[in-house]
Amino acid sequence: LGLISAAGRTIRTDDLAAHPDSSGFPADHPPMGSFLGVPIRVGDNVFGNLYLTDKEGGFTEEDEILIEFLAVTAGSAVSTLRLQDRLRRAALLEDR
């Protein structure tokens, strides 16, 4: 799962355990079959990831496009909130 953040790219597979970059799961982790993982970017940095698992029949290219769109939207929301926070802090400092 770290590959999504490290490489900053989407991973879609029908069997996560069989993926060549899979390193397994902790003993108490629930098993995952089909998997779609998409990075959430804020600027050039990966802020977080969206993970979807166990879709019957596997994830499609259409699913991937939709979740990538949601990740872009989430990244934009985080960026907007950060900007609003900086503006609010600057206004507070100016008022002092």
pLDDT of residue 32: 81
- Tokens representing 35? 């998997």
What is the C-alpha to C-alpha distance for residues 54 and 14, in angstroms, rounded to an integer? 9
pLDDT digits (tens, 9 = 90+) for 4-27: 877 788 999 998 876 767 666 667
pLDDT of residue 6: 78
- 38: domain CATH number is 3.30.450.40
Counted domains in the chain: 1
Bridge partners (DSSP) listed for residue 35: 13, 53
Q: What 3-state DSSP class applies to 77?
A: helix
pLDDT digits (tens, 9 = 90+) for 75-85: 999 999 999 99
- Tokens representing 23? 């390193």
Where in the sequence is the domain holding 79, given as residue range(s)? 2-95
